[in-house]
Structure 1
Amino acid sequence: MDWPSGSPELWAFLESLHRGDILSGAVAAIERFGVFVALDDGTGHPTLPGVGFFGIPGLSWRRFDDPADAVQAGQRVSCEFIGSDTYNAEAGLSLKALEPDPLQAFADRTVVGQEFCGTVEEALPIGVLADLGDEVFGLVPFREIDGGSAASPAEDFEAGEEIAVVV
């Protein structure tokens, strides 16, 4: 691999990693765009707080508004290596790769036509985002709501309202 110039120890460490490797470390810094991790077996980074990095999508299956809602500075984490970012010279990590996918668990225990009681999380221009529990959310298009048309107004639904949904 053709690496940019920089710390030879850092490049050697990144080249030694393989997709799927399980790494551990401590959360070094939390930014609005992701989380830096100081890896136990890694080297330091010359300019960043840690050589490992979680982008927002790799943090959790749960919904959150701020990465600090998913992890805390100093927290010990185990994560999966998903690839090297050669531009920033960091190890791309996924915390959620080591957690069960709640949508897959939902699909495994659900049949088409099954009814649920959902809670309106948010009314969107195209439909209602319903919380079905266990970190599973579904979009109910307005055209699929009984008595509704494709033009049903979002104002007819309030966050927290319970609605019946069918898979």
Structure 2
Amino acid sequence: MSAAARDFLKGVRKGSVVCGTVGAIHNFGVFVHLDGEPDPEDPIGFVRVPEITWRHFRELDEVIAVEDRVRGEVIDVDEQRLQVCVSLKALQPDPFVPLAGRIGEVVRGPVTMIFGDHGVFVRVADGVEGLVPRAQLRGEVRVGDEMAVEIAEVDLARRRVLLSRVEW
């Protein structure tokens, strides 16, 4: 890596906000060409998969694409690897926080996943799915079915939502 790239890296501080363009996507994370980088062929920015978004997704291309402009917070500057680790979700509102104030509220949402003998997951807000226990399910339930549920519990520390099925 060039001296200019090393100088650029030394000027980046943990906690600062950076912008850039997605250069490459891999199953382990996303490489980002940070604004001001001296070598556009060798991206310095890197976003690990868990730091991309609060939303649940199966494939990265559901939430990010090459050439996307991104904005994130620097969470680490790794001078050994010559890399700036960035969190995009650090600048996004956490969807669990407002949900914690909605205990007892009835909402409708699609079933997003059948979780074996445990129950089903239902999307109750953008980026948030909660579990309806198997004991509360009647008949066959399929992914995509709409379900009315009551928000029974929100565990912010464990990032889990427990739901109760409501019959309409």
Cα gap change, 1:116 to 1:100, in 2 (>3 Å): same
Cα gap change, 1:139 to 1:88, in 2 (>3 Å): farther
Secondary structure, aligned partner of 1:157: coil
Alpha-carbon distance in structure 2 between the residues aligned to 1:50 and 1:73: 13
Greater helix share, 1 or 2? Answer: 1
Of 114, 122, 138, 2:113 maps to 122
Secondary structure, aligned partner of 2:130: strand
Alpha-carbon distance in structure 2 between the residues aligned to 1:49 and 1:60: 24
2:154 aligned with 1:161: no
Gaps of 5+ in 2: 152-168
Query: Which residue does 1:21 correspond to in 2?
Result: 16
Query: Which residue does 2:93 correspond to in 1?
Result: 100
- The AA in structure 2 aligned to 1:17 is V
Cα gap change, 1:141 to 1:84, in 2 (>3 Å): farther
Alpha-carbon distance in structure 2 between the residues aligned to 1:124 and 1:103: 21
Mapping for residues 124-163 of structure 1, pairs under 5 Å: 124-125=115-116, 126-143=118-135, 145=136, 156-163=140-147
- What is the TM-score when the length of structure 2 is the normalising length? 0.75
Gaps of 5+ in 1: 1-5, 148-154
Mapping for residues 17-96 of structure 1, pairs under 5 Å: 17-44=12-39, 49-86=42-79, 88-96=81-89
Q: What RMSD in Å do the two structures reach over aligned CA positions?
A: 2.5
Deviations 1:83-127 (A, max 9, x none): 12455321111112111112223224x1x2222223211110222
Cα contact 2:95–2:125 (8 A) shared by 1: no
Query: How many residues are paired up?
Result: 150
Alpha-carbon distance in structure 1 between the residues aligned to 2:21 and 2:6: 20
Alpha-carbon distance in structure 1 between the residues aligned to 2:15 and 2:141: 43
Secondary structure, aligned partner of 2:93: coil
Of stretches 9-18 and 36-45 in structure 1, the one that deviates more from structure 2 is 9-18
Cα contact 1:43–1:51 (8 A) shared by 2: no
Identity across the alignment (%): 33
